[in-house]
Structure 1
């Protein structure tokens, strides 16, 4: 049955590519690192809005669960709905949060916060030293999370459940308890409008740098 819409699948693969490029250019100290970071920021803004206004399986309300639900799932005592299971939802939430922190710290290092006069008393050498340390720490943490994510994909593959194929085709194995037409999918036009809005925000940020 169809589980993932086209916008979510496009986001997933574009995020993977842009994060790889941003990480490589950042750790190597060369290449258009800031450009990759800004492109990633646009994607994140798009994903955040899609998590609110998008398709059912893409919404935060579908995959953000309490620690109790996550624990019950890991113990095999919780049957997840189509889409991200509680553990997968935790990974998605963590990755999004860390990527947002990374983009914000990157904007701070690029001088964007200098536009806010009320922050003048905070933006000193100590502040930027802390932000630089956070940026590096989060970068290394993200690499570790990606490795953990890939390991989970391999485990599911060994269990005859291809998460990669599902993120390409949008389809997962049919669950008898769920009707094929039971899921709600938002239109691609809405996704495009939200993407243009997210891109506009990033363009405004670039113009202020």
Structure 2
């Protein structure tokens, strides 16, 4: 059964690649770290909007569950038989997206990309605070990635290949009577191009 559309799968792997490049360039102090950050900021903004206007399994309302449901799921008291993210996985998506957005915002502030849009007395000019936040978010993201990879490993040991599904978009063993609707790839492409254009327009003064 198909559960993931192409835009969501592309986002997942491009996010993983850019995060790895950002982590390496950031901790080693080499490479075009800022350009990787700008690319990730554009990408994650696209994913957030796709969470409202995209395919069913990509929408936030489809996979967000109450904290009580998440706790019950982790205790093994709640079974997940639906399509898409399980209750715990859904909140991991939100956590990662929130941290990435915060990290990108801090990085843009550090790089001076937001200077034309903030007051001179703003906390966004407190470089010590920005450096502290940038480092803190980096380590929190690494911790989330480790937790995410650990969960994937556990699911693989249980015979559920989440990695393969994110490549093919299909979960072969999943049988559901619910019909999943998918938005067109053209819509996703238009949305990404629009976001990329807006990022270029608003941040252009800092490029020159």
Unaligned runs of 5+ in 2: none
Give matches, 1:48-63, under 5 Å. Answer: 48-63=48-63
The corresponding residue for 1:65 is 65
User: What TM-score results when the alignment is normalised by the length of structure 2?
Assistant: 0.93
Whole-angstrom distance in 1 between the partners of 2:143 and 2:124: 31
Runs of 4+ residues over 3 Å off in structure 1: 173-176
The corresponding residue for 2:148 is 149
Query: SS at the partner of 2:114?
Result: helix
Give matches, 1:116-195, under 5 Å. Answer: 116-117=117-118, 119-123=119-123, 127-176=126-175, 178-179=176-177, 182-195=179-192
Whole-angstrom distance in 2 between the partners of 1:136 and 1:95: 16
Whole-angstrom distance in 1 between the partners of 2:124 and 2:200: 26
CA root-mean-square deviation: 1.5
User: What TM-score results when the alignment is normalised by the length of structure 1?
Assistant: 0.93
The corresponding residue for 2:200 is 203
Q: Is the 8 A contact 1:114 1:123 kept in 2?
A: no
Unaligned runs of 5+ in 1: none
Whole-angstrom distance in 2 between the partners of 1:124 and 1:207: 19
Query: SS at the partner of 1:65?
Result: coil
The corresponding residue for 2:22 is 22
Whole-angstrom distance in 1 between the partners of 2:18 and 2:124: 30
Query: SS at the partner of 1:112?
Result: coil
Residues 17 and 156 (structure 1 numbering): CA distance in 2 closer, same or farther, change over 3 Å? same
1:203 Cα deviation after fit: 1.2
Give matches, 1:23-38, under 5 Å. Answer: 23-38=23-38
Aligned pair count? 205
